[in-house]
């Protein structure tokens, strides 16, 4: 029964031991523990403030990035439009230049054909004239009494002459 009813001396010594342990803990452990808790609380508050600041900076950067992206898209569209206009202009100029060259070549070819045709006609006329003169000369050199013989001789001469 003595365990259930402790004596006054045990209570007194237990109380003194408790107070001594309490004082030792207060001096040695509680102050560092409270200081550590206060430092940790301050660190957490600073981290939360830094996180809020980073979050606000991130949102401002995000809005700036969206504005830059929109501007870049607009610039790209303008550049593509300008490039298409330049390409269309270059194609139109090339077609126009090609048409001019084609027209010039056709006119040059027509002039060359006309001049060659005229030269060929002149040459044919000269050959026909030469042939006619040659036939006339041979007819006049040979005097024939009979008209039938004369026509027969002319036919023979014309068949003998080669046309170029």
Q: What confidence tier does 93 reach under pLDDT thresholds 50, 70, 90? A: very high
Please give the pLDDT value at position 5: 73
Give residue 25's pLDDT: 85
Q: What is the distance between the alpha carbons of residues 10 and 8, in angstroms, rounded to a whole number?
A: 6
Summary mean pLDDT of the chain:
86
Per-residue pLDDT tens over the stretch 131-160: 887 877 776 666 656 677 777 777 877 777
Between the CA of residue 3 and those of 6, 10, 13, 102, what are the distances in Å? 6, 11, 16, 128
CA distance 92 to 88: 6
| Residue with the larger pLDDT of the pair 26 and 51 | 51
Q: Looking at the predicted structure, is the pLDDT value of residue 1 above 70?
A: no
In this prediction, residues 92-120 reach a mean pLDDT of: 92
What is residue 162's predicted lDDT score, i.e. its pLDDT? 64
Which pLDDT band holds residue 3 (cuts at 50, 70, 90)?
low
pTM: 0.41
Token duo for residue 99: 């048409």
Q: For residues 40, 46, 49 and 50, what is the CA-based torsion angle, rounded to 10 degrees?
A: -120
Q: How many CB atoms lie within 10 A of CB 127?
A: 13
CA 71 to chain centre: 20
Residue 15: its pLDDT value, please? 93
Q: What is the pLDDT of residue 84?
A: 94
23-27, 46-50, 63-67, 77-81, range with the lowest pLDDT: 23-27
Percent of the chain with pLDDT over 70: 90
Nearest to 150 by CA among 139, 159, 160: 139
């Amino acid at each position: 029964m003595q365990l259930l009813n402790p004596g006054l001396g045990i209570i007194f010594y237990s109380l003194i031991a408790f107070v001594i342990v309490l004082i030792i803990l207060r001096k040695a452990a509680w102050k560092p523990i409270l200081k550590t808790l206060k430092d940790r609380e301050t660190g957490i508050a600073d981290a939360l403030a830094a996180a809020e600041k980073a979050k606000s900076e991130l949102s401002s950067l995000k809005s700036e990035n969206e504005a830059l992206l929109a501007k870049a898209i607009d610039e790209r569209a303008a550049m593509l439009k300008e490039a298409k206009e330049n390409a269309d202009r270059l194609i139109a100029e090339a077609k126009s230049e090609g048409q001019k060259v084609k027209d010039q070549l056709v006119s040059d070819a027509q002039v060359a054909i006309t001049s060659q045709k005229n030269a060929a006609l002149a040459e044919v006329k000269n050959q026909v004239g030469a042939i006619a003169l040659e036939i006339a000369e041979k007819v006049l050199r040979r005097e024939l009494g009979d008209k039938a013989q004369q026509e027969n001789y002319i036919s023979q001469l014309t068949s003998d002459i080669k046309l170029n």
